[in-house]
């Protein structure tokens, strides 16, 4: 019993107690058997990589956030609201607060640390995609039966990662995730500034509130974004690998770690899918479901020990 299996067992028993009347509950529990062997390695590796990449991206984000730049944006909101001298309420100034927040967030892209953040996120997405390719081959090997040769996960990952070096599409994906992150940040920041102004907060209090958001709550949302972006990249990597190997039919499997993934159960029971119209995973944030297909391992001999 690894620590991971113990945690999953506890979660499964809780789920079983809560849904004792659900006839499907036994199937969920059966899933736990998969947590040993290949599946345990697969999910543990993903988790480790996501944790490590989140740390790097969060550090790059922290570097961007500068108290002076935040102060400039706050002064702009206060000046427009006529708060420079008097403590007046900011009725109906939500739009101005949002505009200032947008200006602040846009200014982040001109800061010297921006390239570092963009590169860290690109590398995280590349790692997710490479791991997804490795996962696809690991799952295919597992389907060949218990006598399959052992996958050299690290060697396989290195090969897969290197093969992505010139994939421009990774930068496009990176910019999409960054834009999403910045939009969310601007919304949250705008709301906080508007509220602070309405409550008659002082200049320092407003700066503190903005800094708290940008260096606190936003760090949590970086972790959420990395999880989602890397999982998306992993699923794309797996599907692309299956497609490039000429696979016609692919299964969706809800190979969760004890969690039930409601949106994906339907996709699983609809399997196998044609590779052309298979539903795109992940179907929701924190989705751990995977594609699985039969593939000849002859192109991947170097990945096996």
Q: Where along the sequence are the contacts to Zn ion (CB under 5 A)?
A: 261, 264, 287, 289
DSSP string, 206-261: HHHHHHHIIIIIHHHHHHHHHHHHHHHHHHHHHHHHHHHTT--EEEEE---SS---
Shortest reach from residue 113's CB to Zn ion, in Å: 34
DSSP string, 100-139: HHHHHHHHHTTSTTHHHHHHHHHHHHHHHHHHHHHHHHHH
Shortest reach from residue 144's CB to Zn ion, in Å: 25
**Residue 204 CA to chain centroid, in angstroms?**
34
Shortest reach from residue 172's CB to Zn ion, in Å: 25
For Zn ion, which is the closer residue by CB, 108 or 226? 226
For Zn ion, which is the closer residue by CB, 247 or 281? 281
Distance, CA of 116 to CA of 98 (rounded, Å): 26
Shortest reach from residue 17's CB to Zn ion, in Å: 23
For Zn ion, which is the closer residue by CB, 130 or 261? 261
Shortest reach from residue 254's CB to Zn ion, in Å: 6
15 Cβ neighbours under 8 A, 6+ residues apart: 25, 28, 258, 260
Distance, CA of 16 to CA of 276 (rounded, Å): 36
For Zn ion, which is the closer residue by CB, 221 or 283? 283
Q: What does the radius of gyration of the chain's CA atoms come to, in whole angstroms?
A: 23
Distance, CA of 199 to CA of 90 (rounded, Å): 8
For Zn ion, which is the closer residue by CB, 142 or 268? 268
CB of 173 closer than 8 Å to CB of 235 = no
For Zn ion, which is the closer residue by CB, 175 or 262? 262
Shortest reach from residue 252's CB to Zn ion, in Å: 8
Distance, CA of 13 to CA of 260 (rounded, Å): 12
């Amino acid at each position: 019993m690894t620590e991971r299996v113990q945690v999953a067992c506890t979660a499964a028993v809780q789920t079983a107690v809560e849904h004792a009347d659900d006839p499907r509950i036994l199937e969920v529990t059966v899933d736990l058997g998969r947590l040993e062997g290949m599946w345990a390695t697969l999910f543990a590796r993903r988790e480790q990589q996501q944790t490590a990449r989140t740390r790097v991206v969060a550090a790059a984000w922290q570097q961007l956030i500068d108290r002076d730049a935040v102060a400039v944006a706050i002064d702009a909101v206060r000046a427009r609201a006529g708060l420079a001298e008097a403590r007046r309420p900011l009725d109906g100034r939500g739009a101005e607060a949002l505009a200032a927040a947008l200006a602040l967030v846009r200014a982040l892209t001109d800061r010297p640390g921006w390239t570092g953040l963009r590169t860290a996120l690109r590398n995280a997405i590349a790692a997710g995609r490479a791991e997804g390719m490795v996962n696809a081959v690991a799952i295919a090997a597992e389907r060949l039966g218990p006598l399959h040769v052992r996958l050299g996960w690290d060697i396989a990952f290195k090969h897969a990662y290197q093969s992505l070096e010139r994939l421009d599409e990774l930068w496009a994906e990176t910019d999409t995730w960054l834009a999403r992150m910045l939009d969310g940040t601007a919304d949250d920041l705008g709301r906080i500034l508007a509220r602070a102004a309405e409550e008659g907060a002082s200049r320092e209090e407003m700066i503190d509130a903005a800094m708290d958001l940008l260096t606190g709550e936003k760090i949590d949302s970086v972790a959420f974004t990395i999880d989602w972006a890397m999982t998306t990249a992993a699923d794309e990597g797996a599907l692309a690998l299956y497609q490039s190997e000429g696979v016609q039919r692919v299964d969706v499997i809800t190979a969760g770690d004890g969690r039930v993934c409601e949106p994906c159960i339907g996709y699983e029971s609809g399997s196998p899918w044609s590779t052309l119209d298979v539903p795109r995973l992940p179907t929701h944030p924190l989705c751990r479901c995977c594609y699985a297909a039969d593939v000849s391992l002859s192109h991947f001999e170097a990945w096996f020990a």
